[in-house]
Amino acid sequence: MTILYKVHNNLYVNLTNKCPCACTFCLRQTRDHMEDSGVLWLEKEPTVDEVIADFANFNMDDYDEVVFCGFGEPTERLDDVLEVCRFIKDKYNKTIRINTNGLADLIHKKNTAPMFDGLIDIVSISLNTPNKERYLELTRSKFGIESFDAMIKFAENVKHYVKEVVLSTVSTTLTEEEEKECADICKKIGVTYRIRPFED
């Protein structure tokens, strides 16, 4: 099964297939891999030891970042993510990014932001839309209408513990007015707004 895989100049970590959302646009609904990744559906969740062992199969000098992002929400296994991060920092001292839906606080029923301190360098959160009702329509989050506000609150909290927090939307999916609203949200809470290219 695929635990680590390359995308561009980064090494991605596929730790879980669990996710509290069932996004209408999620790539895993239409494919089982990314580029040359191999199948990202896991036979079972890899242990921390299995993840760490897989790094020996890659020349880490070839990669700019290690990115926690696979066919699931990485913060579903937040403790394990952070344990792997400690290994990466100690052995390779690489920049670490986590791509997340920002719902870690709802998943774990607590403020998770302090856990990221000193281990995660970049948190990239899928904002998707400036509207909480539309957000629920798109993500179909099991946590319901409170999901949007919880995601924004997480972004606001975690910026105190990581160097860079980015909220993103996908180009061509929003109107210019909606993109301006997203930019205003990001400005208000003091994080970066990014419009990323559409992938099919």
In the chain, DSSP finds a helix count (H) and a strand count (E) of: 6, 7
- pLDDT tens-place string over residues 98-119: 999 999 999 999 999 999 999 9
Model confidence at 77, pLDDT cuts 50, 70, 90, reads very high
Give the model's pLDDT for residue 199: 64
- pLDDT tens-place string over residues 1-55: 899 999 989 999 999 999 999 988 766 565 555 666 666 879 999 999 999 999 9
Give the model's pLDDT for residue 92: 97
pLDDT more than 90, % of the chain: 82
- pLDDT tens-place string over residues 133-172: 999 999 999 999 999 999 999 999 999 999 999 999 988 8
DSSP single-letter state for residue 29: G
| 29 vs 173 pLDDT, higher one | 173
Model confidence at 128, pLDDT cuts 50, 70, 90, reads very high
For helices 147-158 and 176-189, the axis angle rounded to 10 degrees is: 50
Helix (H, G, I), strand (E, B) or coil at 102: coil
Whole-angstrom distance, CA of residue 129 vs CA of residue 45: 31
